[in-house]
Amino acid sequence: MNSNNEHFDNIIQKLNTISALKQKNYKAVKRVFKDLMDISESLINRLKENTKELDKSVELEFLKVNEFEFHVKLSGDMIVFMLQTNIVTLNTAHPVMQSEHIKEDASRGYFGHIMIYNFLSDSILYNRMSDPGYLIARVMINHEDNFFVEGVRQMNFLFSDLAANKINEQWLELILEKSIITAMEIDLIAPNYPEIQNVTLSQKINNENPMGRGEKIGFQMSTMG
């Protein structure tokens, strides 16, 4: 009977600590995602106002899919922002988990995360199911609103200091702008000729990736450390 009481008390203790912490973290990252969505819509509107003389085929669009996903379209690039609903921690060997900031308080090592992907606009427009999307960055935010970013190019080192970085509107604007610039700067590279010499009828009918469309070369996630 005592053993059962101990288990019951242990469950209550975890509900009061870890479960409550994760709910607090989720509410925090959901609020941040809403702020990022509003900032993205505002940026697209400002870009439209300042690019009225551009070729009309250069499309600038903001699309809210739902409260967990929105898209920013800049001509041929579609940047997809997704809020993950689960709160996660990291492998204990991860440099962030080895930091004094987290060693001082283990609760800081739980994160909500926002994923930022780059797709080709045509992949979504024509429903090309086998076309890849490329992870530009993931933004990791804890219950104290401290954050870091893992990603490609400058995304991987500009936002690496969890202890110093407190998420706010200015940081979100910078993350958004850097994500857009990263997506636009990496060109679409045509595959080598021998790679596309042979395609199956199925690939042709389904308009699948081996049909000669380019891929963005240079999107390689480089985790910290």
Divide the 225 residues of the chain into consecutive groups of 10 and give the mean pLDDT of each group: 71 79 93 97 92 76 96 92 94 93 94 93 77 88 95 81 95 95 78 72 69 57 45
Give pLDDT, residue 223: 46
Q: Under 8 Å CB-to-CB from 163, ≥6 apart: which residues?
A: 99, 100, 101, 146
Give pLDDT, residue 47: 92
Q: Domain residue spans in the chain?
A: 2-186
Give pLDDT, residue 213: 58
The pTM assigned to this predicted structure is 0.81
CA distance 133 to 11: 41
CA distance 26 to 113: 9
CA distance 115 to 104: 27
